[in-house]
Chains A and B, each alone.
Chain A
Amino acid sequence: MFSYCTDPDTLDTVRWFSCFLTNGVHLSFYMSFLKVLVLLLVTAPVALAVGFAGAMATRATLPPLRWLGEGYIAIMRGVPDIAFFLFFVIALDQAFEWTRHQILCPDWTDPIRQGNDFLVCPDAKLPLGRAAEWVHQTYSFFLAVVTFAIVFGAFAANVLRGGMRAVPHAQLETAAAYGMSRRQTFWRILVPQMWIYALPGLSNLWLILIKATPLLFLLGIEDIVYWAREIGGTKTSKFTDYPHGDWRMWYFLFLLVFYLSFTRISEILLERLTVRLSHGQATTGGEALRKEAAA
C-alpha cells in the first residue's frame, strides 16, 4: 500500500501497523464486511417475501396449498440450521445441475451417480467449469441467499401468520359489511394493519439473521469470521512479512464491536419504524400517539 512497506521488519510500530492493516488479506477482510452487509440487505426482503407467501398459503382455502404452507413452516423450523446448511446447499446445487443435465445433454449415457460421485455433463455444470472465479463466487452467494431466505422465510411466515391473526376481527367484518371481496379485505384492510403486530417478531428475526452470517463459511463464502480467524492466527516469519502471535482475540473483539453496533443501529431504526407503523392503529402504541397529537 505505502511506499515504505517493502521491508516491514525495519519499521516502527505505527508504520508497521499501517502496512499490516492495509495488506492484501486485510483488504479481503474489509471486503468481507461489505459482502455480509450486501447479503443481509438482499436476504431480508427475499426472506420476507418467502415468509409472506408462506403465511398466505397457510390461510388458503384450497387444502393442498394450506398443507404445503404448514408443512414448509413445520419442517424448516424443526431442522437445525447447521444441518440444513450442510445438506441443503449441496442438494440444491445438485438439483439445479440435474435439471440442466436433463435439458442440455439428452444424449448423455453415463449414469449421473457413480458411487459417491455426482457427475453431470460439462455443459450442465453450475457454474461452468471454465467460468471465471467471480462467477463461482457469485453463484455460491446466490445459493447462500436462497438458503437463508428459505430458512428465515419459515420463521417469518409464522410471525406474519400471527400478525394476520392479531388484526382485530371487527376490522374485517366492517370491510365485509362495506361489500369488499375476500381479496380486497386481505390487501386493503388486513395487510396494512398486520405489520405492527408482526414487527416485534420480525425484528427478532432480523437480529438473529445478522448473527447467523458466520454460517456463510459452510457455503464456501469467506465471511468476516473466516478472515478474522485466518488473519488473527499465528503467523511465522517464514510465510509472511508480518509475523505475529495468536491475535485472534483482538480480531474477534473487533467483530464483537461490529456486531454490537450493527444490532444497536438496527434496534434504533426498528424502534422508529414501530412508531411510524403505530399511527392510526388500534393498539396501545397507536392510542398513545393519538393522545399525544390531541394534547
Chain B
Amino acid sequence: MKKLILTTAALALTAGMAMADTVRMGTEGAYPPYNFINDKGEVDGFERELGDELCKRAGLTCEWVKNDWDSIIPNLVSGNYDTIIAGMSITDERDEVIDFTQNYIPPTASSYVAASDGADLSGIVAAQTATIQAGYIAESGATLVEFATPEETIAAVRNGEADAVFADRDYLVPIVEESGGELMFVGDDVPLGGGVGMGLRESDGELRGKFDAAITSMKEDGTLNAMIKKWFGEDAAVYE
C-alpha cells in the first residue's frame, strides 16, 4: 500500500513537471523599444510585455533568454530556445529556414538618419548585419557597412564613418529625439518586410498554432493596438 502511494505520488510529480514545460523565448535585448535590458538587468520592452501576455493567453510558462542577433536563428533550430521574439521582420529568406506566426506589428517603415540634411544616401550607409535593412542597402547601390549591434550603426554615423544609418523607424525615433539636433531623419521612409512576427522551428506547428491564436485574440479585443501605442507612440501603425 505504501509502495502504491509512493508510486502515485511519483507519477503525479512527473506529470506535474511535464505540464510545466517552459517555452523559452529568445530575444536580443538591444533594440528598444522592441526589446532591451532595463536598469535591473532584465529583458524589457514591447516584446517582453507582449510575450508575457501571449504566454498567459496560451496558458504557457515562458522564460526569457538573451542571444546575440548573429546566431539567433541557428540557436533556435538547434533547440536552445523555442521562439524568436526580437523585432524580426517576416521575410521569404527567413521563412525558408524557420516559420513565423502572423505578424504582431504591421509592416512598418525603415528610415535613414544622418548627421546633416545633405547626407549622401547613395554613399556609405550603416545597417545591422543580417537585417532586411542591410539587404535593402546592399541592393540600393549604396556602400553598405554592417555592424553586429544597432548601437554601433548609430555610432558609425556620429563619428563620421558612415554617411547615414538605415534602420527601423521605431528604433530611430527616440534616438533622434534625444540627440539634441545632432541627428536627423533624411530622405523618404521605405516600407520593408511583412511586419514583425515570432519565429519558430518549422517542426513546431503546435506551438505556432497556440501563439497564432493568442495574437488573433489580442488583435480582436484591441489590447495589441493599445500596447503598440504605448510603446511606439500615438502615431504608430496599428491594426484596423
Contacts and interface: CB of A to CB of B under 8 A. Distances in A.
A127 to B, nearest CB: 10
Interface string B44-71: 1100000000000000000101111001
Given A90-B78, A93-B78, A116-B97, A239 B71 contact: no
Nearest to B68: A217
Given A239-B174, A243-B178, A27 B41 contact: yes
B44 A236 contact: no
A194 interface: no
Interface residues of A, number: 41
A265 interface: no
Contacts of A23: 39-41
A218 B177 contact: no
A129 B75 contact: no
Nearest to A132: B63
B65 A114 contact: no
The size bracket of the interface on B is 35 or more
B21 interface: yes
A118 B77 contact: yes
A23 B39 CA distance: 6
Contact of B38 (A117, A233, A239): A239
A218 B18 CA distance: 31
B30 A230 contact: yes
Given A114-B203, A130-B22, A25 B149 contact: no
Interface of A: 23-25, 27-28, 86, 90, 93-94, 97, 114-120, 122, 125, 129-130, 133, 136, 217-218, 220, 222, 229-230, 233-234, 236-243, 246, 248
Given A229-B151, A238-B33, A239-B32, 14 more contacts: A28-B41, A90-B74, A90-B78, A115-B202, A115-B203, A116-B77, A118-B79, A119-B79, A119-B203, A122-B18, A133-B63, A218-B68, A230-B37, A239-B33
24 contacts: A25-B38, A25-B39, A86-B71, A90-B78, A94-B78, A97-B79, A114-B203, A117-B202, A118-B77, A120-B79, A122-B21, A130-B20, A217-B68, A220-B68, A222-B66, A229-B151, A230-B29, A233-B149, A234-B154, A238-B33, A239-B32, A239-B44, A239-B45, A242-B39
